[in-house]
């Protein structure tokens, strides 16, 4: 495998997905059986679930927090942080993952489009910003309250909710000359559309993952492999 050619004028937009976290041992939602750690998505990852059974939703996300705290960044996270050090502000990383493994590997220019496990926010949308909260709660009584008195909820984009920072993401994709998509199946929208937006803006588009994505035809180049094994070589300075 030869390293990706990245010139001094390239602007690189990277999208990472569940496959990158999975290589650090964090289990992901599997479309094959529709379950995530034994739960149906609609029971733990929707606004309706939060309204119906907040204790179950908080229990689920408390366990996700605990698992993420115990996981370590892998070679793919490290390779992306290295690339950012080379490119500076010509680099942006957008992740669908809610863990903090990219930050812990050293990434700075980072957008969490699906939210962050380590934060909570007001359930009533009172306007206060998300707060740092890595708490693991055994019962609903332990969950802190917003300053307005309402319950806090995980700062996670549930199914059926709008991803975060879409305006900034679209602007950055328009400016990018190279898009690299790593470890995401190409079936979750709007992220699955990013490659088309980048292609329309004239960017090269490269996919890396263990199998061909469902939107493979939209890419200029497909690289099949595990991110932690392939990315360090693909992103080496050559």
Query: Tokens 């999208």 correspond to what residue?
Result: 15
Task: Examine residue 143 and tell whether it contacts Zn ion (CB under 5 A).
Answer: no
Stretch that binds Zn ion, among 14-22, 73-81, 104-112, 148-156 (CB under 5 A): 148-156
Task: Examine residue 148 and tell whether it contacts Zn ion (CB under 5 A).
Answer: yes
Stretch that binds Zn ion, among 20-28, 61-69, 126-134, 152-160 (CB under 5 A): 126-134
User: In sequence order, which residues have a C-beta less than 8 Å from that of residue 67 and are 6 or more positions away?
Assistant: 25, 26, 27
Instruction: Please select the residue that binds Zn ion; options are 31, 66, 108, 126, rule is CB under 5 A.
Output: 126
Judge whether 24 and 80 are in contact, CB under 8 Å: no
Task: Examine residue 144 and tell whether it contacts Zn ion (CB under 5 A).
Answer: no
Instruction: Please select the residue that binds Zn ion; options are 146, 169, 198, 230, rule is CB under 5 A.
Output: 146
Judge whether 153 and 61 are in contact, CB under 8 Å: no
Task: Examine residue 55 and tell whether it contacts Zn ion (CB under 5 A).
Answer: no
Smallest distance from Zn ion to CB 153, Å? 10
Query: What are the structure tokens assigned to 149, written together?
Result: 């008195």
Smallest distance from Zn ion to CB 63, Å? 25
User: In sequence order, which residues have a C-beta less than 8 Å from that of residue 37 and are 6 or more positions away?
Assistant: 27, 60, 63
Smallest distance from Zn ion to CB 120, Å? 11
Smallest distance from Zn ion to CB 57, Å? 17
Catalytic residue check, 39: no
Stretch that binds Zn ion, among 19-27, 87-95, 140-148, 173-181 (CB under 5 A): 140-148
Task: Examine residue 83 and tell whether it contacts Zn ion (CB under 5 A).
Answer: no
Active-site hit among 39, 102, 114, 155? 114
Judge whether 183 and 209 are in contact, CB under 8 Å: yes
Catalytic residues: 114
Could you list the residues that contact Zn ion (CB under 5 A)?
A: 122, 126, 146, 148, 150
């Amino acid at each position: 495998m030869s390293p990706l050619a990245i010139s001094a004028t390239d602007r690189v937009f990277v999208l990472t997905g569940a496959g990158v976290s999975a290589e650090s041992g964090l289990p992901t939602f599997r479309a094959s059986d529709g379950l995530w750690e034994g739960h149906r998505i609609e029971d733990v990852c929707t606004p309706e679930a939060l309204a119906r059974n907040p204790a179950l939703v908080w229990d689920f996300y408390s366990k996700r927090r605990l698992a993420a705290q115990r996981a370590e960044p892998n070679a793919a996270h490290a390779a992306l942080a290295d690339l950012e050090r080379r490119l500076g502000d010509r680099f942006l990383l957008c992740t669908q993952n809610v863990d903090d493994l990219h930050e812990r590997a050293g990434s700075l220019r980072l957008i969490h489009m699906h939210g962050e496990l380590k934060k909570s926010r007001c359930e009533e949308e009172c306007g206060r910003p998300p707060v740092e909260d890595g708490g693991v709660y055994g019962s609903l009584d332990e969950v802190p309250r917003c300053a307005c008195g309402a319950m806090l909820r995980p700062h996670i984009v549930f199914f059926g909710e709008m991803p975060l920072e879409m305006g900034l993401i679209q602007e950055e994709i328009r400016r990018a000359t190279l898009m690299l998509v790593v470890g995401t199946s190409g079936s979750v929208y709007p992220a699955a559309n990013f490659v088309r937006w980048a292609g329309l803006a004239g960017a090269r588009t490269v996919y890396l993952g263990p199998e061909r994505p469902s939107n493979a035809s939209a890419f200029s180049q497909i690289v099949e492999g595990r991110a932690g094994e392939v990315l360090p070589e693909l992103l080496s300075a050559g």
